[in-house]
Amino acid sequence: MKGHPLPARPPGLFAHGAAFLAATARYARARFTLAGVELREAGGRYGLAVALVLGALFVAVLGYVFLVITVVFAIAAAFSADHAWLWVMAAAALLHLAGAAALAWFAWTRLQAGAFPATLAEFRKDQQWLTLLAKKP
Q: Tens digits of per-residue pLDDT, 39-76?
A: 888 888 888 899 999 999 999 999 999 999 999 999 99
**pLDDT value of position 104:** 95
- Local structure of residue 3 (DSSP, 8 states): S
> Is residue 1's pLDDT more than 70?
no
User: DSSP secondary-structure letter at 137?
Assistant: -
pLDDT of residue 21: 93
- Look at residue 6 in the predicted model and tell me its pLDDT: 63
> Which whole number is the average pLDDT over 117-132?
88
pLDDT-above-70 percentage for the chain: 93
Length reported for the chain:
137
Nearest to 68 by CA among 40, 99, 38, 47: 99
Tens digits of residue pLDDT in 66-115: 999 999 999 999 988 888 889 999 999 999 999 999 999 999 988 887 77
Spatial distance between the Cα atoms of 31 and 24, rounded to a whole number of angstroms = 10
Which pLDDT score is estimated for 7? Answer: 63
